Amino acid sequence: MSVTGKLSSYANAATSTGRSAGATTLKSGTALVEAVGRLVDAAVSRVLLSDDRVTSAADGRLRLSANQGTEELADKVQRVVVLATPFVRAAARGARFTRLPWAMVASTSFSVGVAVRTGVREIQVLSSLVAFRIEQATGAPADPQLVEKIAVDLYLHPRRKLDLSDDRLRLVRLTRKWLLLGAFGRTTSKRASKALQAADELDGGELATRWDAFLLSRRAD
């Protein structure tokens, strides 16, 4: 199995009880995904509590280029890094016959930390622009759950049509992405730029209407 395949398998183990991974690995994976969820929730909440909004894709790119930190989320970032590092190291140990640089193993915590801090900052900027689009269209505060869902979906798949037929956050996919980014030192600047452009083109009013209809149908059930 390739290194990428091994990393994906470890991340998927967080929610798949049918996998052959042991109970300890499954429990650790679940804790990791939950930690990512708490981090994203806290990050978006801080954005929405502020009156400062990203008003365009260009504004968002400028803010990301400023490389501002996420010190206020340091404890939650560190929790994710602590839980994620063993998964990446385990995949590295299992890749002994590949060309994977062993120096990567020694720098795992650092690289995962960079990936998580960068990623959560990108989600914050993205969620601010999503909230702006909705608030400008409706004249009312954006639903935090809607903003968080759209921001995560756009971050993962900037070009995919938004599906508001459920309220799930795709945290396993997000966790997998950050594991892979941390393992290989890849950046998400291009994807984040595409996500910001997609957010800039959102019809905030239409999204709010669809979301209200979903919530209404769920209450009816």
Residue 65 CA to residue 10 CA, distance in Å, equals: 32
- 42-59: pLDDT as tens digits: 999 999 999 999 999 999
Q: Does the pLDDT of residue 210 top 90, yes or no?
A: yes
| % pLDDT > 70, the chain | 77
Q: Which residue has the tokens 């042991």?
A: 22
Residue 28 CA to residue 192 CA, distance in Å, equals: 29
Positions of E strands within 10-141 = none
Q: Which residue has the tokens 């990050």?
A: 43
Instruction: Please say whether the beta carbons of 25 and 83 come within 8 A.
Output: no
Residue 98 CA to residue 216 CA, distance in Å, equals: 52
